[in-house]
Structure 1
Amino acid sequence: MRTLTLFWAILLLFSCQTVKQDKAGISSSQITIFDNELTIEGLDRPRTIRVYTPPGYADGDQNYPVIYMHDGQNLFEDSTSFAGEWGVDENLDSISKINGLDLIVVGIDNGGENRIHELTAWDHPRYGKAEGKAYMEFIVNTVKPFIDSKFRTKPERQHTAIMGSSLGGLISHYAIYEYPEVFSKAGIFSPSYWWGKGPFDQVEQKKLPNDTRLAFLMGGKEGDNMVKPMQQMVSKILANGHSDTNLTSIINPEGEHNEKLWRSEFQEAILWLFQ
């Protein structure tokens, strides 16, 4: 396995990183933005939350499953993204039309220069203090109750997912293992498992409920330092007894570490997670 160069590490850490934050940006009437209305307890950082509601939400009384996603600036709007958007709203509108699956998505903005700390749950000798525990407590104890009170959600774990890419994939791994009573599904895209032993130790120490669904994705062009650790993690989770019918792992041979890959695989992952 080739050595992770400083350049590659910086690229991975700061992809989906600091974005244009002069305005929240609105991509459609289906996006509601709560601009710095909630604060991460213990870190004293206000955070913008972006909420997508499915077609027909405003005219009905149905309740919907919810996906909580990291790097909210990159989900819906090019103008606020780091390197292009995921097209979450367009993708979900398409899923609604073709497959009849309707979901709410809650995008939690990243913390800019603090992103590297907030999206990691294990300290790193080079990159410093992890703040992922406080960040996930914020999502579980502040954001989720806020969303459940303002939107017609299905709040139970079987209807609740967590999803992210890169460091967002890493913190999504942490979340599904730390809060199995809250989340039953996780989309773990391009996870930064090179970070260290923490997530591997977590898998050894904890076992997920068998109905937990895990969707892994990696681009074949992301490099051995990304691909191999994910393959090792998938093998470890299965060896720990998790059902292979509730885990999917895709390596897109042409995929690179960017929003283009994550956008292209989003629909398939969502349909599998919520089938």
Structure 2
Amino acid sequence: MLTVEMINTPHQITSAFLKREVMLEIYSPEHTAAQTPMHLLLFNDGQEAEALELASTAASLLSAGKIEPLLIVAIKAGEDRLQEYGVAGVLDFMGRGAKAEAYTQFVVAELLPYLSATFKTLGRGKCGFAGCSLGGLSAFDIAWQHPELFDVAGVFSGAFWWRKKAFEDGYSDQDRILHERIRQTPIKPGVKFWLMTGTEDETADRNHNYIIDSIDDTIDVIKELTLKGFTRPEEVFYYEMVGGKHHPSSWAKALPGFLTWAFPTPFFPI
């Protein structure tokens, strides 16, 4: 078996939309021929790349021939993470997500063109976006809004509870922002979604149905996607990790499942 290593190269982009320097950790397979097409995976909360085992997991799967060549771009969150992540154009009940539209524009109009200019083999493979918790909500929303740019999205313990109204102000499930965005989208975007939760993500159970809210909210996202015409498991894949926690250690364990689903080789189909 050929051992493949992922080479980490730090990059920095000055973003006009975010008005800050955005730090990236870019992982690419060593000794990849210049003409070899590569897939692209953007990952929110890139400061957690080591804890998520992004490089080592990709290297292991590449060495085993289970995924195709893949460039991973870990985007480090800024100090305004709670404003830059979220659902673009819609604030949550605490006014968070005010810069989510700017973050979307950074990804679409600054980051992707930069990567295309820097890595010439991109553009012939698939493009994915992934994230954990609030970063997963952000990745889903950006991929959903831009199916012309993204083929797949991966969400680990997504913050699908993101809502317009507080519980004490008469919250109902109709106040969840992403679910509403899916309902209001007139056409079915051509993106596939891989969703994961852990049975120990949290303990909250707002509707007292003995199912934690993170699972309820994710299952309801899947229901909305199904109503929109998405099929399972071909277009929407769901993994519920028994004992999984809201922590990078659990998400790292789930990562191989996502990567082999999103970027499989023909010899290791999903």
In the aligned structure 1, how far is the partner of 2:6 from the partner of 2:55?
10
In the aligned structure 2, how far is the partner of 1:248 from the partner of 1:52?
26
Change (3 A) 1:100 1:45: closer
In the aligned structure 1, how far is the partner of 2:143 from the partner of 2:184?
13
Paired residue for 1:70? 44
Q: Is 1:194 paired with 2:161?
A: yes
Identify unmatched segments of 5+ residues in structure 2.
164-175, 203-211, 265-270
In the aligned structure 1, how far is the partner of 2:99 from the partner of 2:260?
31
- TM-score where L is the length of structure 1: 0.80
Paired residue for 2:55? 89
Q: Is 1:235 paired with 2:223?
A: yes
Instruction: Return the structure number with greater strand share.
Output: 2
Shift of 1:29: 7.1
Change (3 A) 1:100 1:118: closer
- TM-score where L is the length of structure 2: 0.81
Q: Is 1:222 paired with 2:211?
A: no
In the aligned structure 2, how far is the partner of 1:92 from the partner of 1:193?
27
Q: Counterpart of 2:113 in 1: which secondary structure?
A: helix
In the aligned structure 2, how far is the partner of 1:60 from the partner of 1:181?
25
Q: Is the 8 A contact 2:6 2:55 kept in 1?
A: no
Q: Is the 8 A contact 1:75 1:86 kept in 2?
A: yes
Paired residue for 1:40? 15
Shift of 1:100: 5.0
Paired residue for 2:243? 254
Instruction: Return the structure number with greater helix share.
Output: 1
Kindly tell me the number of residue pairs found equivalent between the two proteins.
Answer: 234
Identify unmatched segments of 5+ residues in structure 1.
1-27, 77-84
Q: Counterpart of 2:29 in 1: which secondary structure?
A: coil
Q: Is the 8 A contact 1:92 1:102 kept in 2?
A: no
Letter in 2 for 1:54: P
Q: Where do residues 20-31 of structure 1 align in structure 2 (5 Å cutoff)?
A: 30-31=7-8
Paired residue for 1:5? none
Shift of 1:127: 4.6
Shift of 1:65: 0.7
Aligned counterpart for 2:68 among listed residues 101, 111, 116: 101
